[in-house]
Amino acid sequence: MTDTPQGFETLAIHAGAEPDPATGARQVPIYQTTAYVFRDADHAAALFGLQEVGYIYSRLTNPTIAALQTRIAALEGGAGAVCCSSGHAAQIMALFPLMAPGRNIVASTRLYGGTITQFSQTFKRFGWSCTFVDFDDLDAVKAAIDDDTRAIFCETIANPGGYITDLDAIAAIANEAGIPLIVDNTTATPYLCRPIEHGATLVVHSLTKYMTGNGTVTGGVVVDSGKFDWSASDKFPSLSKPEPAYHGLVFQETFGPAAFTFHSIAIGLRDLGMTMNPQGAHYTLMGIETLPLRMEKHIANAKEIAVWLEGHDAVESVTYAGLDSSPYKARIPQICPKGAGALFTIQLKGGYEACTKFVAGLNLFSHVANLGDARSLVIHPASTTHRQLTEQQQIAAGAAPNTVRLSIGIESAADLIADLDQALKAAG
């Protein structure tokens, strides 16, 4: 790769990929191996002591996965990235070096239902807690932060409603409090938004979604901006103090901007074991090659379909941020200048029953618990992804009982509209 700055489309194809030195293979090979032969005892010791970068064991590092990490870090403008087994795993990986029993995070109420459950229920088993706040209320966000808060968490484009977060304003609050902002960029992808440019410390993705784009594998990633000073306070001892889990190594002192990335590999992947498999990394690498092209089509379809739905007699409202009626449209030039994404919800006048009939009546739209596929997808969150939440939590998350989530694919917009129309009519 040249040292000249590369365009997004170029990085999506070339970042992290060089011809294989052994065979000349142009595509990144799938290194389907568990372990790697050391040159000698000194080489092995240097690798285990983090004095030399290389490959030890595929729970930690793997050449195929390393190529994917390099590519995603380049696309997000980060200092490094660590891939793992799923988006949920990425959230744990992002918080693991920051948290301890008794610590908490402040998170947006507008999150994927599984994330809300993870934060509100599973975190309790670690002794962590989470305060959920409406991130449109900046004063409430500030008020929720206390001496034990170790991070702020939100989504760029919130799932399921497609609401756009004012990342710059939230980042300013995080900076004032001296804590990192963690942004889930799954639904926007770095093509629409690079949260690090808006002040995010860490960016997480479910690579299962738009980044892979074909519904074949699960995966997650944590991207480190490399810009946070973990030593500025005593809040993050795993990074700023001698780490007992790694022979007393001080990661911030030793690795500087790469401290979080090295900690996540040497301790996070080592001890949590939430490793991505190399074949999954290969699928994602191939998916990212077409990410810019797919996102353009996703957005064009979403805008056309959202406008059509807003005018339909059976539809009470549409949450797509790209509509003139959306209160979030003004944030598009600031946060997502290339478009408002392709995920949004519709509220049906017929309520819960009409939603279930509508979903059952669709033909081109696949009824699945996924988003970001090349195919158009549909789900009724209140009975599925957000089922574990109370109705009040569902409403706060944008997943009320009369709400259907649409993930618009890259098929013909006319065909998708025809399918929606017949299903709406069938639902009464």
**For residue range 50-66, what is the model confidence (pLDDT) as tens digits?**
999 999 999 999 999 99
39: closest CA among 61, 56, 16?
56
* pLDDT score recorded for residue 18: 87
pLDDT band at 385 (very low <50, low <70, confident <90, very high): confident
Q: Which amino acid is at 137?
A: D
DSSP3 helix / strand / coil % (the chain, rounded to 5): 40, 15, 45
* Cα–Cα dist 124/55, whole Å: 35
Higher pLDDT: 327 or 396? It is 327
Q: Residues 203-258: pLDDT tens digits?
A: 999 999 999 999 999 999 999 999 999 999 999 999 999 999 999 999 999 999 99
- CA geometry: angle 386, 389, 390, nearest 5 deg: 130
| Of 101-105, 208-212, 398-402, minimum mean pLDDT range | 398-402
pLDDT for residue 400 is more than 50:
yes
| Of 4-8, 17-21, 287-291, 319-323, minimum mean pLDDT range | 4-8
Instruction: Classify residue 179 as exposed, middle or buried by CB count within 10 Å of its CB (0-12, 13-18, 19+).
Output: buried
**Domain residue extents for the chain:** 8-98+180-287, 291-426
* pLDDT score recorded for residue 398: 81
Domain spanning 8-98+180-287, CATH class: alpha beta
Three-class SS state of 348: strand
Torsion sign (Cα): 144, 114, 167, 222: positive
Q: What is the DSSP string of 390-412?
A: -HHHHHHTT--TTEEEEE--SS-
**Mean pLDDT, the chain, as a whole number?**
95
User: E strands, 312-390, where?
Assistant: 315-318, 343-348, 366-367, 377-379
5: closest CA among 77, 61, 92?
77
Superfamily of domain 291-426 in CATH is Aspartate Aminotransferase, domain 1 (3.90.1150.10)
Of all residues in the chain, the percent with pLDDT exceeding 70 is 99
* pLDDT score recorded for residue 1: 47
Q: What is the DSSP letter of 205?
A: E
pLDDT for residue 274 is more than 70:
yes
* pLDDT score recorded for residue 206: 98
- Whether the pTM exceeds 0.85: the reply is yes
Mean pLDDT of 383-391: 80
pLDDT for residue 35 is more than 60:
yes
Q: Residues 114-163: pLDDT tens digits?
A: 899 999 999 999 999 999 999 999 999 999 999 999 999 999 999 988 99
Q: Residues 299-314: pLDDT tens digits?
A: 999 999 999 999 999 9
Torsion sign (Cα): 386, 388, 393, 394: positive
The CA-based dihedral angle spanning residues 287, 397, 310, 425, taken in that order and rounded to the nearest 10 degrees = 90
* pLDDT score recorded for residue 4: 58
